[in-house]
């Protein structure tokens, strides 16, 4: 993994730029864009003293692909932020895809432009770049990127860092696909599966994925899918899985999100969320 | 008037202010170091330590509830020796008073853990006789006055460090447990640890947690914790300093606990919800004391009893 600090850098409030349902079928997935400029308690944007005396950053630090934030609507009826992966970002905003699942995510999905969100982050190790794994002098690795359901968000974001045409992208959904803007143009191949056949191949990932064609695989999705990827890619040289866990602190302090690996427990939040498939026990 | 003095002295140890990071919610002090100024805290309690490393519990470990958090971590920790060799150095460099939280499964492991810590630069030991999430020992020590006394006596015999004993709200006779802990050598008491609670996964028709029950913390428990603090404060009549905890999230909450007899407070779950919570509590206490013309924390301790 790259040499950087996986602990959260800031905890502050920011404004919602936009919050829109993706697709029309169930409208359970929302894209939320947040301003990177922290907001003071009096609602004024810009530099400020934080309550504990430190100067708030002028800008929420840019996340690396595969990192996440703890997000909570402000005001909120829930206690804790929810861990949400970064989908995209630029100099002024950070974008997330949120699956409406419980109370915390329902609050997030009901936000409107101009609402406030409390965030903590960016958190985690992120996806290792191919150049850090395979020598540039050798042949380019054959790369597969796999996203299942809402797990498409971090890998879609990561794929924007990769050279156009250098990867195949697999996306598996129950029903209508989402989160794939620009992927077809950049991927060597985009393969979509849906369980209801509403798009792409009817079925699940194994219907389209052939592990032996790859040297390097990145995947994020439901645990059952990651378990399949881990097993199917046993002979692929490098495989990285981004895991999801219930979290409380998002800082490595509470040990609530422990993941089992061959070398003992690891914290999903700051030791992950990206793990080597050969090390993690699912 | 001059700035109020927020410092407190507990069992001979001076803390710059009465706000302490609660065990198990602040790692070994460095986890939140980028987000907040850790040096502004009065003290930091380490993650609960045991003599030997523990992997903690399997399955779901945390579950949010209305205004609360259930946890079943199960004392995952690298063991006292690893703590002394690896985590303690950086923890000491942060500035706040370092308190090592120690658990045991037998009287021998309490004593041996305390002996190892006695030989270290930690300022104080917080004896955990109240963890609800481990099968052997843990909270069992804190439920019964005689058992609590024996665990405290075992640790007491192995260390001259100031000894805080952390009490369980699940004890049927909490004041008797508190009295027994003090009789057996506790220099201070912290209360309360988490409340034993239960949740069902209705899709599977099974308990959410592999360990079946889990500990409840957060604002949901605060009024209960405050009432227990009151019981112990009245019952013990000021024999030892009390450290209050249980759902404290704001400076107003901290003042309530201090006015109910606490010399200091611990903050845990609130940090997860708002990493700035402890800094805000320190600032809020200072502003409140200035407004009310309290020159020191002791001016407020027990006012509401």
Tens-digit pLDDT profile for residues A89-107: 999 999 999 999 999 999 9
pLDDT value of residue B15: 98
Convert A114-135 to b/e letters by CB count within 10 Å (16 or more is b). Answer: ebbbbbbbbbbbbbbebeeebe
ipTM: 0.94
Q: Is pLDDT of A250 > 70?
A: yes
pLDDT value of residue B136: 59
Residues B203-231: what's their mean pLDDT? 98
Closest CA to B57 of A257, A48, A157, A57: A257
pLDDT-derived band at A45, boundaries 50, 70, 90 = very low
Could you tell me the residue ranges of all domains in chain B? 8-56+76-195+217-299
CB pairs under 8 A between A and B: 119
Q: How far is CA A169 from CA A146, A158, A164, A191, B266, in A?
A: 6, 11, 12, 6, 49
For A8, the closest of B35, B37, B269 (CB atoms) is B35
Highest averaged pLDDT of the listed ranges A50-54, B105-109, B139-143, B233-237:
B233-237
In chain A, the domains with their CATH numbers are 10-123 (2.40.30.10), 130-242 (3.40.50.80)
pLDDT value of residue A48: 47
The tokens describing B92, both together, are 């000491």
| Residue to substitute from B61, B277, B281, interface A, most A β-carbons within 10 A | B61
Q: Is pLDDT of A44 > 70?
A: no
Residues B276-298: what's their mean pLDDT? 97
Cβ of residue A55 closer than 8 Å to a chain B Cβ:
no
Q: Is pLDDT of A57 > 90?
A: no
For A120, the closest of B35, B63, B282 (CB atoms) is B35
Q: pTM of this prediction?
A: 0.94
Residues A63-87: what's their mean pLDDT? 97
Q: How many CB atoms lie within 10 A of CB A185?
A: 9
| Residue to substitute from A51, A122, A223, interface B, most B β-carbons within 10 A | A51
What is the rounded distance in angstroms from the CA atom of residue B255 to the CA atom of residue B302?
Answer: 10
The CATH architecture annotation of domain B8-56+76-195+217-299 reads: Alpha-Beta Barrel (3.20)
pLDDT-derived band at B137, boundaries 50, 70, 90 = low
For residue A80, what is the nearest residue in chain B, using CA coordinates?
Answer: B273
pLDDT value of residue A129: 95
SS3 percent helix, strand, coil of chain A, rounded to 5, is 15, 35, 50
Beta-carbon separation of B60 and A246 below 8 A: yes
Q: Is pLDDT of B52 > 70?
A: yes
What is the rounded distance in angstroms from the CA atom of residue B176 to the CA atom of residue A18?
Answer: 57
Q: Nearest CA of chain B to the CA of A73: how many Å?
A: 12
Cβ of residue B272 closer than 8 Å to a chain A Cβ:
yes
Cβ of residue B73 closer than 8 Å to a chain A Cβ:
yes
Tens-digit pLDDT profile for residues A143-199: 999 999 999 999 999 999 999 999 999 999 999 999 999 999 999 999 999 999 999
| Residue to substitute from B27, B55, B249, interface A, most A β-carbons within 10 A | B27
The mean pLDDT value of chain A amounts to 92
For B37, the closest of A54, A118, A252 (CB atoms) is A54
Beta-carbon separation of A52 and B37 below 8 A: yes
pLDDT value of residue A41: 55
Please provide the DSSP assignment of B242-269 as one string: EEE-SS--SHHHHHHHHHTTEEEEEE-H
pLDDT-derived band at B41, boundaries 50, 70, 90 = very high
Residue B29 · residue B39 · CB < 8 Å? no
Percent of chain B with pLDDT over 70: 97
Tens-digit pLDDT profile for residues A58-68: 789 999 999 99
Q: Is pLDDT of B35 > 70?
A: yes
Q: Is pLDDT of A241 > 50?
A: yes
pLDDT-derived band at A26, boundaries 50, 70, 90 = low
Q: Nearest CA of chain B to the CA of A135: how many Å?
A: 33
The tokens describing A167, both together, are 């990867």
Percent of chain A with pLDDT over 90: 88
pLDDT value of residue A134: 93
For residue B25, what is the nearest residue in chain A, using CA coordinates?
Answer: A254
pLDDT value of residue A2: 45
Residues B132-148: what's their mean pLDDT? 80
Residues A206-234: what's their mean pLDDT? 97
């Amino acid at each position: 993994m790259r040499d950087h600090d996986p602990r959260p850098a800031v905890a502050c409030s920011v404004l919602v730029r936009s919050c829109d349902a993706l697709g029309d079928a169930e409208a359970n997935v929302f894209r939320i864009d947040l301003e990177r400029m922290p907001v003071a308690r009096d609602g004024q944007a810009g530099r400020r003293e934080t309550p504990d005396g430190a100067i708030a950053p002028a800008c929420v630090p840019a996340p690396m692909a595969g990192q996440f934030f703890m997000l909570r609507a402000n005001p909120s009826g829930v206690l804790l932020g929810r861990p949400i992966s970064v989908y995209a970002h630029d100099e002024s905003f950070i974008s997330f895809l949120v699956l409406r699942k419980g109370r915390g995510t329902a609050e997030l999905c009901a936000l409107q432009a101009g609402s406030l969100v409390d965030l903590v982050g960016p958190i985690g190790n992120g996806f290792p770049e191919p150049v850090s794994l395979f020598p540039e002098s050798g042949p380019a690795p054959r790369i597969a990127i796999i996203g299942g359901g809402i797990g498409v968000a971090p890998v879609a974001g990561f794929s924007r860092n990769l050279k156009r045409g250098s990867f195949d992208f697999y996306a598996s959904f129950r029903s209508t696909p989402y989160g794939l803007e620009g992927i077809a143009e950049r991927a060597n191949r985009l393969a979509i599966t849906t369980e209801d056949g509403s798009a792409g191949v009817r079925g699940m990932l194994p219907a389209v994925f052939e592990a032996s064609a790859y040297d390097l695989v990145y995947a994020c999705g439901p645990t059952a899918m990651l378990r399949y990827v881990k097993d199917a890619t046993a002979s692929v040289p490098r495989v990285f899985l981004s895991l999801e866990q219930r979290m409380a602190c998002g800082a490595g302090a509470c040990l609530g999100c422990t993941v089992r690996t061959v070398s003992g427990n690891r914290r999903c939040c700051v030791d992950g969320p990206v793990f080597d498939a050969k090390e993690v026990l699912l | 008037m001059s700035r109020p003095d927020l410092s407190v002295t507990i069992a001979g140890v001076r803390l710059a202010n009465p706000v302490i990071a609660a065990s198990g919610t602040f790692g070994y002090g460095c986890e939140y170091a980028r987000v907040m100024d850790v040096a502004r805290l009065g003290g930091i309690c380490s993650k609960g330590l045991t003599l030997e490393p523990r992997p903690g519990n399997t399955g779901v470990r945390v579950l949010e509830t209305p205004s609360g958090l259930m946890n079943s971590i199960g004392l995952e920790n690298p063991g006292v020796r690893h703590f002394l060799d690896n985590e303690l150095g950086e923890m000491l460099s942060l500035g706040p008073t370092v308190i090592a939280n120690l658990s045991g499964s037998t009287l021998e492991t309490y004593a041996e853990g305390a002996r190892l810590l006695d030989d270290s630069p930690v300022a104080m030991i917080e004896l955990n006789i109240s963890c609800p999430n481990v099968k052997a020992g843990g909270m069992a020590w804190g439920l019964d006055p005689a058992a609590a006394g024996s665990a405290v006596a075992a640790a007491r015999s192995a260390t001259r460090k100031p000894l805080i004993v952390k009490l369980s709200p699940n004890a049927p006779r909490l004041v008797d447990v508190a009295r027994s802990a003090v009789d057996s050598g506790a220099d201070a008491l912290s209360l309360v640890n988490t409340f034993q609670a239960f949740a069902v996964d209705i899709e599977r028709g099974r308990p959410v947690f592999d360990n079946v029950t889990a500990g409840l913390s957060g604002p949901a428990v605060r009024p209960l914790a405050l009432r227990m603090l009151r019981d112990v404060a009245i019952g013990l009549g000021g024999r030892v300093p009390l450290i209050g905890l249980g759902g404290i999230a704001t400076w107003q909450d901290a003042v309530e606990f201090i006015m109910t007899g606490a010399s200091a407070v611990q903050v845990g779950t609130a940090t997860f919800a708002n990493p700035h919570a402890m800094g805000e509590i320190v600032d809020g206490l200072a502003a409140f004391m200035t407004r009310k013309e309290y020159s020191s924390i002791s001016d407020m301790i027990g006012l509401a009893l």
